[in-house]
Amino acid sequence: MTMWLNVALNVDAAHVEALSEALLEQGALSVSVEDALAGTAAETPQFGEPGSPDTPLWQESRVVALFSPSDDLVGRIAASCNSVGIIDLPDIDIEEVAEQNWVQLTQAQFEPIRINERLWIVPTWHAAPDPAAINLILDPGMAFGTGSHPTTRLCLEWLSTTISGGEKVLDYGCGSGILAIAAARLGAAAVLGVDIDDNALTAARDNAAKNSVALELRQSQMPLAETFDLVVANILTNPLCMLAPLLSARVAGGGRIALSGILAPQAERVIAAYAPFLALRVGATQDGWVRLEGKRPSRTEG
């Protein structure tokens, strides 16, 4: 059985691009970059979100390279680092990866997901376990959002119990389009998905077609002035805080908002960020993640 070697090391943003190229020159088959602090209170906002710093990459980045087995791999990594000005070699994590049927393995990891009695997420290679339910057809892809992550499930549960039919819905940071598609299938009259990533918008458009729903999709750099009956955003804590004025202003009178992508210890920070605009509370928790909810009073309530 062929074995591969996954090599990971943390570096600062200034060296990421040059190091990635150097690793490829040293024989890496692929190189990817991740936020080394993802999932912590120090995670960095997504690129280009309103109010985020103009930083090309995460300040503390994790570079992951895939190599075929070879002699002196550490030496090749060290040579790559030295060639871009990294003199002190960072800690290196090396993990063996066995050759497998990657398509079959990936598919096996994505079984149908039951959200509640009304709602399932079903990959295209599976039959719907409950044909009478609302079955969202969705395959894993480049854009975030397959329904398996607790934050996505928290938002899907909220949509399922909140939409009664005819609402106008905004899904900010739509990713794969899963929340926007769910809103449409649950009976929303109009759904707008917004994302900063053009690949995500392409994936959302394709997924909407698979589910026979009509979505409006918009790049986050485009103006957004409408108000909505329901606003949902499943992003990360830092961008959610910076987006507080924008997202709060999108909630119509009598409308509701749900935010997720928030670790439990971060909830109070997000609540404080939205306090000048909307009162938020913890609506639900799952596996250490929370969903915050709020409502803008209608004119009669105000």
111, two tokens = 């079984």
Helices (H), the chain: 13-25, 73-83, 102-108, 150-162, 178-185, 198-210, 237-242, 244-249, 267-274
> Across residues 75-103, what is the average pLDDT?
84
Residues comprising the chain, all counted: 302
Q: Do domains 3-99 and 150-295 have the same CATH topology?
A: no
Contact indicator for 289, 264 with CB cutoff of 8 Å: yes
H helices of 27-149, where? 73-83, 102-108
Q: Looking at the predicted structure, is the pLDDT value of residue 300 above 90?
A: no
Determine the pLDDT at residue 251. 98
What is the CATH code of the structural domain delimited by 3-99? 3.30.70.120
- What confidence score (pLDDT) does residue 50 get? 46
Residue 9 reports pLDDT greater than 60: yes
CB 112 within 8 A of CB 123: yes
Query: Using an 8 Å Cβ cutoff, are 180 and 170 in contact?
Result: no
Q: What is the pLDDT of residue 302?
A: 53
pTM over 0.75: no
Question: How many Å apart are CA 66 and CA 96, to the nearest integer?
Answer: 10
Just give the CATH number of 150-295.
3.40.50.150
Rounded Cα distance, 293 and 230, in Å: 11
What confidence score (pLDDT) does residue 47 get? Answer: 47
pLDDT in tens, 31-66: 989 888 877 777 765 544 444 444 456 788 999 998
Q: If pLDDT is split at 50, 70 and 90, which confidence band does 127 have?
A: confident
Closest CA to 121 of 178, 172, 160: 178
Cα separation, 293 vs 275, whole angstroms: 12
Low-confidence winner among 2-6, 10-14, 118-122 (lowest mean pLDDT): 2-6
pLDDT per residue as tens digits for the range 242-290 = 999 999 999 999 999 999 999 999 999 999 999 999 999 999 999 999 9
The residue ranges of every structural domain in the chain are 3-99, 150-295
Please name which of 274, 215, 268 lies closest in space to residue 249, comparing C-alpha atoms: 274
Task: Give 223 or 106, the one with higher predicted confidence.
Answer: 223
Under a CB-based contact definition with an 8 Å cutoff, are residues 280 and 273 in contact? no
| Single-letter amino acid, residue 14 | A
Query: Does the structure show a pLDDT above 60 at 103?
Result: no
Q: How confident is the model at residue 147 (pLDDT cuts 50, 70, 90)?
A: low
DSSP secondary structure letters along 252-266? EEEEEEEEEEEEGGG
Determine the pLDDT at residue 72.
85
In this prediction, residue 122 has a pLDDT band, given cuts at 50, 70 and 90, of: confident
Instruction: Give the tens place of pLDDT for each residue, 182-227.
Output: 999 999 999 999 999 998 999 999 999 999 999 999 999 999 999 9
CA gap 23, 70 in Å, rounded: 14
Q: How does DSSP classify residue 118?
A: S
- Which residues share a beta bridge with 289? 263, 286
Residue 143 reports pLDDT greater than 70? no
CB atoms closer than 10 angstroms to residue 132:
8
Dihedral pair phi/psi, residue 53, rounded to 5°: -65, 150
